Amino acid sequence: MFGRGGFRQAYGQGQRRSYSAQGENTYARITVDLEDSYRGGTRQVTLKHSVLGADGRPQLRERTLNIKIPKGITEGQQIRLAGQGEPGIGEGKPGDLYLEIAFNSHPLFHTEGKTVYLDLPLAPWEITLGAKVQVPTPDGPIKVTIPANSTNGKKLRLKGRGIPAKQPGDMYIVMQTVTPPATTDNEREAYRQFGDAFNFNPRQSMGG
């Protein structure tokens, strides 16, 4: 004979369900080259993540993933890897892994969103008389015409030469005058003749 309490206990155990929960999403930051944004590519990334050990305690493990870098990605965007986050509990699905993109420091270029900037050194005669010069871009060198009578710091826009997203960004060349040193008698004489040829006082607006 079953007592009333014993019957309720046995019935409750039969209806009990195991606990399940989806795993947590995880986040990491990876660095790629600016050129990867122009061409796309694959990067191998080693990440640390926690797993439950045999004793039931979390342990840190390393895993290596091959990450596809889509063409046109910009700094700060995220790549979502479904099911690569923390494992779920019970029958719960694993969470997702989100990778935030950062660009490696570049010796020539810097970016703001989809816009790319390049400081371009120019000789005084190039920036004054105009010139056709070869200019590096993240997608390879191109020929650019420098307009005559340009000034130091002037920006030259190269439409659509920025990061190639659905709506491509632009690239800006920032002109920087580089004055050659005068180390020989001939070079110093050339500067004297240059100065004599112009009635020019760069400090006139200062009353100098």
Q: What is the pLDDT of residues 118-175, one digit of tens each?
A: 999 999 999 999 999 999 999 999 999 999 999 999 999 999 999 998 899 999 999 9
The CATH number that applies at residue 117 is 2.60.260.20
Q: What is the pTM of this model?
A: 0.79
How far apart are alpha carbons 176 and 153 in whole angstroms?
6
Do the domain assignments include residue 206? Answer: no
User: Is residue 190 a contact partner of residue 179, using CB atoms and an 8 Å limit?
Assistant: no
The tens digit of pLDDT for each residue in 188-198 reads 999 999 999 98
Residue 120 counted as domain residue: yes
d(CA 78, CA 93): 21
134 in any annotated domain? yes
Residues 65 and 79 in one domain: yes
Please provide residue 26's backbone torsions phi and psi, each rounded to the nearest 5 degrees: -120, 155
Residues 95 and 139 in one domain: no
Instruction: Sort strands 78-81 and 131-135 into parallel, antiparallel or unpaired.
Output: unpaired
Choosing from 103, 126, 150, the residue where a domain stops is: 103
Claim to verify: residue 77 and residue 117 sit in the same structural domain: no
Answer whether residue 1 is part of any domain: no
Q: Domain range holding 156?
A: 109-197
Q: Is residue 66 domain-resident?
A: yes
- Distance CA(149)–CA(134), nearest Å, equals 19
Residues 75 and 119 in one domain: no
